[in-house]
Chains A and B, each alone.
Chain A
Amino acid sequence: MPLLLPILLALACAPLAYVAGRWRPGASAWVGASGAVASLVALGWELTLGPARLVLPWAPTWGLSLEFTRDGLSGLYAVMALSVGALVVLYSRAYLPHHLEEKGRPARDEVRFHVLLLSFMAAMVLLVTVDDLLLLFVALDLTTIVSYLLIGYDRDDPESRAAALLSLVLTGATSVVFFAGAMTLGLQYGTFSLPLVFERAATSPASTGALVCLAVGALGKSAQVPFHFWLPRAMAAPTPVSSYLHSAAMVAAGVFLLQRLYPLFAPALAVRDGLLAIGFLSMTVGSLLALVADPFKRVLAYSTIAQYGYALVLVALGSEGAPFYVAAHAPCKAALFLTVGAVTQVTGKKKLSEVSGLRHSLPVLAGASAVAAAGLAALPLTVGFFKDEVFFHALVQRGPAFMAAGLVGAGLTLAYTLRLWWGLFGGKRQDVPAAPRLLVAPVVVLAGSVLAGGILPGLLVEPARAAASAMRGEPSTLALAYHLDARAENLLAVGAWALGALLFATRLAWTPGLARVLEVVSRFGPELGYRRLLHLLDRLSTWLHELEVRDLRDRVASVLVPTGLLGLTVLWVTPLRHRFLPGTVGWADLTLVMALVFASGAALATLRARGHMVLVLLISCVGFSLAMVYAFAAAPDVALTSVLVESVFTLLFAGLLALLPSRRLERAQQEAQKPRGRDRISAGIAGVSAFLLSWSALSHLQADRVGTQTVKLAEVAHSPNVVAAVLTDFRGLDTVGEMSVVVAALLGVTSLLRLKGKR
């Protein structure tokens, strides 16, 4: 099972790091990073072997198995997750101690962070390698859970707790919707296994509803409009979290899902058009917000929303460049996040308006981040150039309107990237202490890879093609090369640069106005809707709770009244013949009827009883009359028992009354005689339904009951008294149980009324 090796190595990272961390907190990051690198190496070796699948038995009851795939798509994303993961873990080794010190937390909490980060990496690797709809969802939710824990890592900080909850709710909610879609598809095709699903989808396309559900899950994960607002809030997390989850991993998961499931979406043009619109919308919204945001991490967060909007557009267009776009974007964005993290750590500042001119103090960081920024803005000689190249290529095929939109988008990207970099490193000189080497090194590595991809694009062609063909299920002809001619893509790129430069140069003129407009607009955004909805639900909840029953009497009534009404309804609607038989009354029944009348009279009298003693006597009167009934009904055992029980009970009640303070009793008495109208109604409903239900039951007596059999068997059981035989022998188990009830009640009594001094 060679396919498992990288996955197992990735899964092993977190536990290994935990063990190492128990030994020495600092070691966890190194162990985790080396594990990630080992997994990366194993993956690289795997990928040279070509595509493969692995199926392991899992839950045969549901026909589920653990299915893994190794193809271009999973390879590309896994490499991304592992390599960025390793770098970020190392970076956090340098970042975290300072962060923890600031928050006043012990240094050993660092291990938890590394473990969570590595768990996230493992979840991500799992997500991209599984080949089963259900497993996709499981891995997706794993990333949700770990991201909740990571975003809420500063658990003493209310803001980060709120951000964590928001991201949990939004990504969790959308992924449940995804699951509903997956379940629909699973039922439609009779399997969750992706290759089979794709195969069957070729003949019968997936239902639009299911596809929309799947898309919602992906959009929520990738922070696309209208679910985008969780991402900026999630920037409350420590920077390594943002740089990993919100550049290369978690947000990538959503777009990855769409790429993985592309064969399902391919024939559904309406859904794809919807995705296209959302992609453009996210692009615009993200870019504009990135242009005016002040905290650097927010700029990057909005940029992420915009960039995944591009990726979404590519998927919606069915472009073969979609996987490549995400892969090219990831190192650039991660490097920039790491840069701003380093800046924050060195300066203690978080906003663009608070820093400037850091290039003098942090030259290496400035240089490396310049490369990353160039990559993000798609300048030549970086891998980013090609991401826009494929983007433009896809747009060109759709016509001028799309081309114009792409041009504006790319221009905006350049503008905000310039604004960010210049804001940090350009302008008036500020002197700050040098950044620790471990904070800078990952940025340099990432920048190096961005540059390498830009200079030697040929290296990237193969993986990009493999991923594209895995996504679209057909061989890819994707080409990545510099063409020094006036083709549309190049013209668009040049146009975008010009636009970006223009926007950047004139930024002082339009920024305040745009900021004001956006502020007004964003007040009516989906975030407001979310808040309103939640608030409304809270109000509804409180209102319902105010209405809720809290009185003991109403709690009892709420059991009996619905039961009574339900019973009456059932009697009303069930077509049963001879529902009610009045029965016959002979002279022999006279005594019985009289005893019954006596019992009823006593029961009615209890309602009028003022004093407690009278009440108790009336209750026992009911009991004795019923005992009489049983005696006349030829049930002497029952009669005897109920006489004795009634006597004991009367005395116990009397004892209780003697116990209770008389003033309290009197006070309670005065209150007791003021019944509410609804109590009468409840009692009426309960009584009427009890009457009708018992009448119905008594009208349908089965003549041949087990009782007759027991009479015959009593002699065999050596017991002339049949009732005794039933009690002790035939149904002896009942009696043992019943006596256990008595003992349990006894235990309850003794624990409620303890002997003095034994407490």
Chain B
Amino acid sequence: MTAMTMPLWGPLLLPWVLASVLAFLDGRRAWVAWLGIATLAATLVCTALLLPQAWSAHPPEFITGDWPVGVGIRMRADPLSVVYALVSTAVLLGTLVYEHVAGGITSRSFPSLVVFLGAGLTGVFFTSDAFNFYVFFELAMTSAFALASYGETARNLRAAFTFVVVNLMGSMLFLTAVVMLYLTTGTLDMQSMVAWGQAQDPYALVVPGTLLLCAFGVKLGFFPFHFWAPAVYRDAGPTVAALLAGALANIGSYGLLRFGADVMPQVLAYARPLLEVLGAASILYGSVLALSRRDTREVLAYASITQAGLIIAALGLAGGEGLCAAVALALAGSVDKTALFLAQDRGGERARRAYSVAAFSTAGVPPTAGFWSKAWLLKAALAQGHTLLAGLVVLASVLSLISLFRAYQREQWLRQGAALHRGTGAVVFALSLALVATGLWPEPLLRAGRDAIAGLGGLR
């Protein structure tokens, strides 16, 4: 550990410690909000500094207390972890800045909870231990539960209640799955599980695998586990919706990639037909339902179901290309959703532009990040001879173009005289700029997608 390299515990510890500190402070004060923002920004920087190490032949890792593998908890930062952590932290940062500049935070604990959410997400992405994954997952979920009622109108509370109850079921399924994994394989360390799966009968892992699929299905919100999503995204505050759709849903896709492609590749291969069916159903369901919705946030909610369906369909494709596409879809989708949910909130010239950029990205129109992710899926589907899926991707693009731009044209802020807020405009503008920049120079996204998958158990 030299002075030059970033230790792995850096991005893990930073939000955690500062979230605890922030818990004491009144988040409605400007300086506290800025402290939270600075924390997330520093976490982002620390995570970014991990990039070169994560890409090296030996990704950084440590085991708590230097105990033997399995006894202690292993944390590991491979490319998949780092790119997910980067994007999620960036999304959280943008959302927190937005909420602060949009007129001040109205709850004492908001910054602290957002940073806790960040700590939970970073932990989820860096851990290499199934139960530790559950703990961090619960940290993120509980922060989200506490955040969901932010705003505290009857509408927000209703959304929060639905969110909490439905997602508790998901958490329960996940806990059960982790315990079953331990009972079956005798270890909680993911790498050891990979080894177990290669040596023993992988059919024994099918049951926990099914439960994991359903648990992450609830988080990611694909058909038929999505029924909570439209109501929650519509009725929660716009910032909260952005947090849930942009950052928290990443747990779902990451979990499926980590447990599916890394820990239990045999089970993933076994589940492929199912994933294809579920993916196709979500794509169709989300795109068709988004068409007739008149509330923009509901349109966005259904669009995110389509997005989830695309990710699932990508996972269902055999070979590495599909997994790469899933990573790219998840990363681009995360930024898209955040930009969309935030941009539709206040209005103003910049927000309008940001909305259209993010909508183009969601529909897969170049030059945006979303285009490359959809292109990847299309490429993978065509390479597998999966014309039907390719057709669905095309259809989903067209339908989301219609529904998103219908909503865009219907919105009040399209007219003159919409409130123009410099700060909020700047946040959404920055997000849309990131989307366009990635669209113009896709190499980082493409490399992230390719290399994130390269080290996973399924392809080793």
Contact = CB atoms under 8 A, between A and B. Distances in A.
Contact of A740 (B16, B210, B360, B365): B16
Contacts of B162: 552, 555
- Central interface residue in A161, A548, A559, by most chain B CB within 10 Å: A559
B41 interface: no
A61 B135 CA distance: 36
A187 B289 contact: no
Contacts, number: 279
A641 to B, nearest CB: 16
Nearest to A697: B180
A540 to B, nearest CB: 6
B329 interface: no
B289 A545 contact: yes
A702 B289 contact: no
Given A574-B203, A750-B108, A58 B398 contact: no
Contacts of A588: none
B132 A179 contact: no
A736 B450 CA distance: 34
B185 interface: yes
Interface in A560-588: 560, 562-563, 566-567, 570-571, 574-576
A574 B205 CA distance: 10
B446 A59 contact: yes
A556 B107 CA distance: 29
B166 A541 contact: no
A132 interface: no
A751 B109 contact: yes
A575 B206 CA distance: 10
Q: Determine the main DSSP class of B at the interface with A.
A: helix
B441 interface: yes
Nearest to B181: A697
A156 B68 CA distance: 68
Nearest to A570: B210
Interface residues of A, number: 94
A706 B191 CA distance: 14
B73 A733 contact: yes
Interface in A531-551: 534, 537-538, 540-542, 544-545, 548-550
Interface string B386-427: 000011001001110110011001000011100000000000
Given A179-B375, A732-B65, A752-B149, A559 B170 contact: yes
B187 A705 contact: yes
Contacts of A729: 65, 67
A747 B401 contact: no
A172 B204 contact: no
B173 interface: yes
A159 to B, nearest CB: 12
Contact of B183 (A550, A555, A701, A747): A701
Given A562-B214, A693-B211, A744-B139, A556 B113 contact: no
Contact of A537 (B170, B185, B291, B366): B291
Interface string B263-275: 0000000000010
Contacts of B227: 548-549, 554-555, 558-559
Given A540-B288, A705-B187, A141 B366 contact: yes
A55 to B, nearest CB: 16
Given A542-B292, A730-B67, A747 B146 contact: yes
Given A544-B288, A567-B207, A713-B71, A744 B225 contact: no
A138 B366 contact: yes
A731 B145 CA distance: 25
Interface residues of B, number: 112
Nearest to A541: B292
A744 B289 contact: no
Nearest to B26: A758
Contact of B187 (A59, A706, A730): A706
Interface in A155-185: 155-156, 161, 165, 168-169, 172-173, 176-177, 179-180, 183-184
A99 to B, nearest CB: 16
Interface string B421-456: 000000000000000000001110011001000000
Contacts of B365: 141, 144-145, 172
A697 B184 contact: yes
B109 to A, nearest CB: 4
B459 interface: no
A731 B70 CA distance: 10
A730 B186 contact: no
B169 A559 contact: yes
Nearest to A106: B416
B361 to A, nearest CB: 11
B155 to A, nearest CB: 14
A567 B180 CA distance: 13
Contact of A744 (B142, B180, B447): B142
Contact of B285 (A165, A176, A544): A544
Nearest to B182: A705
A737 B443 CA distance: 36
A709 B214 contact: no
Contacts of B288: 537, 540-541, 544
Contacts of B23: 743, 747
A734 interface: yes
B31 interface: no
Contacts of B442: 58-59, 62, 64
B183 A698 contact: yes
Nearest to B288: A541
B441 A740 contact: no
B143 A744 contact: yes
A161 B145 CA distance: 40
Contacts of B153: none
A105 B224 CA distance: 48
Contacts of A105: 416
Nearest to B185: A702
A545 B360 contact: no
A347 interface: no
Interface stretch (B43-51, B335-343, B377-385): B377-385
Nearest to B141: A741
Interface in B96-112: 107-110, 112
A563 to B, nearest CB: 4
Interface string B354-367: 00000010011111
A344 interface: no
A704 interface: yes
Interface string B50-76: 000000000000001101101111010
Contacts of B206: 570, 574, 576
A208 to B, nearest CB: 13
Contacts of B132: 731, 733-734, 737
Contact of B398 (A169, A570, A571, A745): A169
B367 A142 contact: yes
A138 B367 contact: yes
B446 A61 contact: yes
A733 B382 contact: no
A548 B224 CA distance: 11
A377 B363 CA distance: 42
A519 interface: no
A490 interface: no
B126 to A, nearest CB: 11
12 contacts: A59-B446, A187-B382, A541-B291, A576-B203, A706-B188, A709-B71, A731-B132, A737-B120, A741-B135, A741-B139, A744-B116, A751-B109
Interface of A: 58-62, 64, 105, 134, 137-138, 141-142, 144-145, 152, 155-156, 161, 165, 168-169, 172-173, 176-177, 179-180, 183-184, 186-187, 534, 537-538, 540-542, 544-545, 548-550, 552, 554-556, 558-560, 562-563, 566-567, 570-571, 574-576, 693-694, 696-698, 700-706, 709-710, 713, 729-734, 736-738, 740-741, 743-745, 747-748, 750-752, 754, 758
Identify the 4 closest CB pairs spanning chains A and B, nearest first. A748-B146, A702-B186, A541-B292, A705-B186
Given A552-B162, A744-B139, 6 more contacts: A549-B227, A558-B227, A697-B207, A740-B116, A748-B142, A752-B146
